[in-house]
Amino acid sequence: MNKVLAYLPIAQWLPGYQKTDATQDGLAAIIVTLMLIPQSLAYAMVAGLPPVYGLYASILPLVVYTLLGTSKTLSVGPVAVVALMTAETLNELYPLGSVEYIYGASILALLSGAVLLIMAVFRLGFLTHFISHPVLSGFMTASGILIIVSQSKHLLGVTSQGNNAVELLFSLFQQLNVTNLSTATIGIGSLLALIGSRLYLPRCLIKMGTPSRWSAQIVKLAPVFVMLLCIAIVSLFHLQTHGVRVVGIIPSGLPALSLPNINLHDIYTLLPAAILISLVGFVESASVGQTLAAKSNHKILPNQELIALSGANIASALSSGFPVTGGLSRSVVNFDAGASTPLAGTFTAIGISLTALYFTPLFESLPQSVLAAIIIVAVSSLIDFKAIFHVWKTSKSDGFSMSLTVLGVLLINVEIGIILGVISSIFLHIMRTSRPHIAVVGLLPNSQHFRNIDRYEVETCANIVTIRIDESLYFVNAQYLEDKIPQYIVDYPDAKHLILMCSGVNTVDVSALDSLKKIISDLKERGITVHLSEVKGPVMDILQHSHFIENLSGGVYIDQFTAYHSVKAICNH
């Protein structure tokens, strides 16, 4: 029983749940619910699904995360990037709006849940580390641009088609002459209203005496007010007859609970995309969760988060939803609104359920252009051009990976973009580590520190060469090490001892050990003794188990200062 409860974090905090917690969670849930309704409708549209499916994907996943999640304030549901990846995957396989497309979205959620569960069982959360921060940042920026481009057709009331941003833009420009003026007026007007509310409304509210905390929450609810206003305008002036596309009839009620039928063909077709969606979704969710956890002084457990997100995606599939993850904007709102426990998510799910049961007729006259405006403003926060320039200035290799990711997403598709980014990051890492930084070091005067002789005025000894290796040693750089160290020795004809300073070496593989043995053997024939210093514990274990120490011509020293003076004393004798 205790083992089961270990996977249910709710069992730890629920017994201490108090009325004050319920009040805080309830107020936060009201605010998040009002914000989540337009977002859910909009992100379903990004995924190529009828808007109501955004509501379906925002109910059960929140409840499951309450039971399994370790973050107090993370809000799970549809997010822009995952919705875009869903659309990119399904558009190539099924007709948009078809029953197969809707089933495909649920199958994708189910497979994503299965992938996350496997990652949890085998503790594979570290795989997300293969998505470097520059690659993820570039991916988010490019995805934001692609979403904005793809939603512009709804904003203007035109049709545009294309498999990438360039094709979509070209198609859009060709359609500008048939822009629906009523649709464009509502869409662009909504866009300007939402941007204006972000830029100017907080200051106006504060000047009117509204507390800064509440003014921030009111601004977050601007999409709700814009949505309701536009619904009223469309209904009052019957703008559907003027070509304004609206959401249309949304079925009331909750979806029947059932897992989608899945076969081997579905697994073969959708599994690669599900793996990518799972990795990206977990990275985004974990980043948000850890950031908010640090602010509230509590910890999240990455492996348990994998289980929680797995359950949330399976729950989404069970309720006809699509892949979900922890979202930044609504999680921040949940945090700022004072959510005390994950139960705020369940209260939000209740609010969404009531909306799906009783208030869906309200959205029948909601213009699609308004949802497009909401999406554009929401994803604009993903775009960070400054980060691209900053990364290029800091590291050309990271800048290359980041730029390749951006170009891949915009010019080809989302999946290829992130794959290119990950592959380029791994390749460049291998390139960097294949030529590790190696420096001849000497003793800084009046200290016990050793520094690069090309950078500092240091003490050296003609009979001793000290080389610092600043990289773990493995098969990729073994030959480089074997070639490079003898070159350094050539510059010191009087050398009798070589000290390898291993402070930067975290691991050594068999190939590197063979190279080291060859180096020691060759130098021994030339009358040069090899010593080691500052060998870390795990590396020492490898050296001892491989009997490397037995064949070492010199000694092993705890630190470089001791090694240098001990070997110097040998030379003086």
pLDDT tens profile 65-92: 999 999 999 999 999 999 999 999 999 8
pLDDT for 487:
87
So what's the pLDDT on residue 3? 58
CATH number corresponding to 438-572: 3.30.750.24
Tell me the pLDDT band of 204, cut-offs 50, 70 and 90: confident
Q: In what order do the strands lie in the sheet with 450-452?
A: 450-452, 438-443, 464-469, 497-501, 529-533, 556-557
For the chain, domain boundaries: 27-426, 438-572
Instruction: Tell me phi and psi for residue 383, to 5 degrees.
Output: -85, 125
What are the tens digits of pLDDT across the range 439-489? 999 999 999 999 999 999 999 998 999 999 999 999 999 999 999 998 888
Q: What is the pLDDT of residues 383-423, one digit of tens each?
A: 989 999 999 999 988 999 999 999 999 999 888 999 999 89
Q: Which of 324, 232, 248, 260 is nearest to 46 (CA)?
A: 324
How many whole angstroms separate alpha carbon 300 and alpha carbon 289? Answer: 7
pLDDT band at 496 (very low <50, low <70, confident <90, very high): very high
What pTM did the predictor assign?
Answer: 0.85
Is the pLDDT confidence value at 2 over 70? Answer: no
DSSP for 322-372 reads: ---EE-HHHHHHHHHTT--STHHHHHHHHHHHHIIIIIGGGGTT-BHHHHH
Q: How many residues does the chain have?
A: 573
Say if residues 543 and 535 touch (Cβ distance below 8 Å).
yes
Q: Tell whether the model's pLDDT for residue 1 goes beyond 70.
A: no
pLDDT in tens, 89-119: 999 899 988 999 999 999 999 999 999 999 9
| Interval 327-332 mean pLDDT | 85
Q: How confident is the model at residue 4 (pLDDT cuts 50, 70, 90)?
A: low
Between 207 and 80, where is the model more confident? 80
